[in-house]
């Protein structure tokens, strides 16, 4: 059982997933800091000094903090967009690497053409 577990953990997918989760959490913290400290204060200035986190409704003894919800929605969209851009960049780099791998030397290309011509006859 221990051997099977060790083999499972050492597979690339599990390790890639673990690394992705750790990097994603760190990346989320960076983007949250960007939103909290740069973007939302700027948006607040544009909208007349509104601090979204302090927006709330008081109904009786209950407080509904809808400003915090707005802040979290903005955080989500910025994080999702940032991850989208990051994945897109990685995909372009991988595609470029695959195209470079696909390029074959001239001799192999000529042999492939000869093979294809012989097949067609």
2-120 in CATH: which number?
A: 1.10.1200.120
Per-residue confidence (pLDDT) for residue 96, from 0 to 100: 80
Confidence of residue 9 (pLDDT cuts 50, 70, 90): low
Q: From 63, 3, 64, 78, select the one nearest 33 (Cα to Cα).
A: 78
Residue 58, C-beta contacts closer than 8 angstroms, at least 6 positions apart = 64
Per-residue confidence (pLDDT) for residue 103, from 0 to 100: 66
- Provide the mean pLDDT of the chain: 80
- Strands 57-59 and 62-64 come out as antiparallel
With beta carbons less than 8 A apart as the criterion, state whether 66 and 57 touch. Answer: yes
Confidence of residue 30 (pLDDT cuts 50, 70, 90): confident
pLDDT tens for residues 45-96? Answer: 787 776 677 888 898 888 888 888 887 887 788 778 877 888 888 888 888 8
- Number of residues that make up the chain: 121
> Which residues, listed in sequence order, are joined to residue 64 by a DSSP beta bridge?
57
Per-residue confidence (pLDDT) for residue 79, from 0 to 100: 74
Confidence of residue 12 (pLDDT cuts 50, 70, 90): low
Q: Where are the strands (E) in the chain, listed by range?
A: 57-59, 62-64
Statement: residue 118 has pLDDT above 70: yes
The span from the CA of 32 to the CA of 25, in Å, is 10
* pTM beyond cutoff 0.75: no
With beta carbons less than 8 A apart as the criterion, state whether 50 and 67 touch. Answer: no
């Amino acid at each position: 059982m221990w051997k099977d577990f060790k083999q499972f953990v050492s597979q690339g997918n599990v390790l890639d997933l673990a690394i992705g989760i750790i990097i994603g959490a760190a990346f989320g913290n960076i983007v949250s800091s960007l939103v909290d400290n740069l973007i939302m204060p700027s948006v607040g200035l544009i909208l007349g000094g509104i601090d979204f986190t302090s927006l709330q409704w008081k109904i009786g003894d209950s407080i509904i903090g809808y400003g915090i919800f707005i802040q979290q929605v903005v955080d989500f969209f910025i994080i999702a967009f940032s991850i989208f851009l990051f994945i897109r960049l990685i995909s372009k780099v991988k595609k470029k690497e695959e195209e470079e791998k696909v390029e074959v030397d001239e001799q192999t290309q000529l042999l492939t053409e000869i093979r294809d011509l012989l097949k067609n006859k």
